[in-house]
Structure 1
Amino acid sequence: MPGFDEDIHEVQETDSKVNNSLDTVDEILDEEFLKSIEIALEGYSDEDLIWISIDFLNFRENLKHGPKKSYHEINDLRHFSNFKDLKDNLIDQIKKLKSKENINNLFKEIKSSNNKISQTLIEIKENKRLCVFIFNYIKNSNHDFLQFEYHPNIYLHLAHWYFTDKENEYRKNHKINSAIKYFTDNIILKGEKYSKKVRDNHFVDWVYLYLKRIDDNFKMINYVPTCKNNYQLLTTTYLDYLNFYDKIQHENTINKLNKAWSQKKFREGGKVRKPHHLPLTKKTIEKLKKLSAFKNISESDMLEELIDQTFLKEMCDEHGKPKF
């Protein structure tokens, strides 16, 4: 472990100075051990904190008497917003070991480990859109139904997969590279037209609510955006993955989005509301009332929406411009 032999030596010197005084051990752990722990962990990357945390959980479990658990992953990963949170938690948990001997033994085990992260992942860690795609490409593509996961700390989850998946390093790296190739060839090169549209803030707000209303898979995503960038990234990455998982459904969804957006822009294009009396039959009026109640809008808005839809379908081109 980088710099850790020196730390252990300093701790051993401290042991001799305090003459095994139990009254001061907590103070020593706070002032001396905390510093040495932080220095030792600085020799490792953010990604290494994942396997170190898992090693710690198993080390602590082995100190117990009786039945023991075996940890292969961090079960509460969702509670950490970033690697700093993970590191702070790790340091706090190590401090609770109290025994200097146990802490020294833990770090000796850490130093002897030979875990390492994929260099490819490190190179793309700042590309959140790509990280979301890779994560879902690897984790969910074999399911019989579309399952899309979104985490704001997505790279943390991706690195966690890398260290906890049982496949060998070659196969894991192959999956990563396959995901990157697919993303580059089939999504970035062929789907930039839509991506540019998503950069429109007005469209971003609208499309999120629209997908929540019409798309059952999108409704199931367990995440609520908190800012404009999160709305944009969530909707873009969902449609990226939908493009990979089911091209027909993706195409249908994009067509629905474009048509509904064109209708919205058309309705907002300088229309002036004037009261009109339309001599509808009793049955038609009943249908209009039921339809407007189902859509939770007024009868006049429902009627206007139906007319707009028909006009756009029959009288306009794909861009919403009149053909005649």
Structure 2
Amino acid sequence: MIQGKDAKPYKDDRGFTDREINWLWNFNQLYMQYMQVYNSDFSTKRKIIFEIFDNPTTGYNHYQTAITNKNSFLINENDLKWAKDPQNEQLLIFTINMLLKFNNLTLSNLFYTNNYEYFVDLVDRLILTKEMKNSQIIEIKNTWSNLKTSKSHTNWIDIKEIDQINWAWDYLKKSYKLASIPNLPINEKQRYNHIVSSIDLMGFISSPDAKELFLIKMKKTWSQKKFRDSGKIKKPHHLPLTKERHEQLKKLSELFNKPIPDVLDFIIEKIYNECTTDTDGKSKNF
């Protein structure tokens, strides 16, 4: 149990942390034999593992094998500390999704309170040596460096505009472009990071060109929505004009070099202002 920001994880009297106990449990597939034990029940897991180590006949060999395997397969947590930094949240989401794809796994979360916890457990569950795990993570980081979306392409998404963030989230979700994460965002900052990371991921899943086209369409759709919501769209109205009035409108349209709706706008606004304001431009009292 970590008690402070710089504190080291708690170790039991045999020198094992909770993470190491959990890794031994999963690596040796003890969950198949002890299905009644909850994933978060480290106390029971530790008791069962130590009973195996204490077996007078086979315990020593089990212990030595466990230490050898731990040193070969369990990656040092210092190599994963970057993922705990909130500044790296977009990279963390990208890395989780890439690890799932690289290793043909599906996302599931029944136990983890944050994405970092899930990430560490995901890495621990990979049946790869720690060198291979580190190699995959380095490759993913390099891929992200090449594929991450330029801020100039996403600066139209305003993290402070809640309605837009929610719209972008729904747009990606409906387009099946939303990256997988074990825990849903709890604030706009996290949701924004998830949105941008999902866009980054598109560059790998499809291609950088396809991602660029998607972004152009997404931005255009948002602009159209803003315009619709502003109430500036001109709705068609049928005006029962006489033929003579219609011809007069056509001539005015040609004279002003404007479409008929714009001519009508001009005429109505002009007459309205003349009727509702005095010579000083103040509103008349009716």
Query: What TM-score do the two structures reach when normalised by structure 2?
Result: 0.56
**Is residue 136 of structure 2 the alignment partner of residue 136 of structure 1?**
no
Taking the aligned partners of 1:58 and 1:179, their CA distance within structure 2 comes to 31
Taking the aligned partners of 2:50 and 2:22, their CA distance within structure 1 comes to 23
Taking the aligned partners of 1:206 and 1:249, their CA distance within structure 2 comes to 21
Matched position secondary structure for 2:148: helix
8 Å contact 1:150–1:222 — kept in the other structure? yes
Higher helix share: 1
In structure 2, list runs of 5 or more residues that go unmatched.
Answer: 1-9, 241-286
Match of 2:168 among 203, 207, 211: 207
Taking the aligned partners of 2:32 and 2:63, their CA distance within structure 1 comes to 12
Match of 1:120 among 79, 103, 112: 79
* CA displacement, residues 28-52 of structure 1 (integer Å, 9 cap, x when unaligned): xxxxxxxxxx760895556435413
Matched position secondary structure for 2:172: helix
Taking the aligned partners of 2:50 and 2:94, their CA distance within structure 1 comes to 44
Match of 2:119 among 152, 158, 167: 158
Q: Report the counterpart of residue 63 of structure 2 in structure 1.
A: 109
Q: CA deviation at 1:160?
A: 2.9
8 Å contact 1:148–1:241 — kept in the other structure? no
> Kindly, what percent of the aligned residue pairs are identical?
21
Give 2:43's aligned amino acid. I
Give 1:89's aligned amino acid. D
CA 155–225 in structure 1, closer or farther in 2 if over 3 Å, else same: closer
8 Å contact 1:117–1:159 — kept in the other structure? no
Q: Report the counterpart of residue 136 of structure 2 in structure 1.
A: 175
Match of 2:222 among 248, 261, 272: 261
Taking the aligned partners of 1:176 and 1:219, their CA distance within structure 2 comes to 18
8 Å contact 2:75–2:124 — kept in the other structure? yes
* CA displacement, residues 231-254 of structure 1 (integer Å, 9 cap, x when unaligned): 323322221211222223312221
Taking the aligned partners of 1:195 and 1:46, their CA distance within structure 2 comes to 42
* CA displacement, residues 181-216 of structure 1 (integer Å, 9 cap, x when unaligned): 22224316x346416725242321111122233x13
Match of 2:198 among 235, 238, 247: 238
Taking the aligned partners of 1:150 and 1:55, their CA distance within structure 2 comes to 18
8 Å contact 1:148–1:238 — kept in the other structure? no
Matched position secondary structure for 2:92: helix
Taking the aligned partners of 2:205 and 2:172, their CA distance within structure 1 comes to 17
CA 102–42 in structure 1, closer or farther in 2 if over 3 Å, else same: closer
Q: CA deviation at 1:104?
A: 5.2
Q: CA deviation at 1:175?
A: 1.6
User: How do residues 217-296 of structure 1 correspond to structure 2 at under 5 angstroms?
Assistant: 217-218=177-178, 225-246=185-206, 247-269=208-230, 271=232, 276-277=237-238
Q: Report the counterpart of residue 42 of structure 2 in structure 1.
A: 90
Match of 1:53 among 9, 22, 25: 25
Taking the aligned partners of 1:173 and 1:250, their CA distance within structure 2 comes to 28
* CA displacement, residues 254-299 of structure 1 (integer Å, 9 cap, x when unaligned): 11110011112222345387772289xxxxxxxxxxxxxxxxxxxx
In structure 1, list runs of 5 or more residues that go unmatched.
Answer: 1-37, 70-75, 80-85, 280-324
Matched position secondary structure for 1:197: coil
Q: Report the counterpart of residue 197 of structure 1 in structure 2.
A: 157
Query: What TM-score do the two structures reach when normalised by structure 1?
Result: 0.50
Give 1:276's aligned amino acid. H
CA 251–100 in structure 1, closer or farther in 2 if over 3 Å, else same: closer
Matched position secondary structure for 2:157: helix
Query: Which of 1 and 2 has greater Rg?
Result: 2
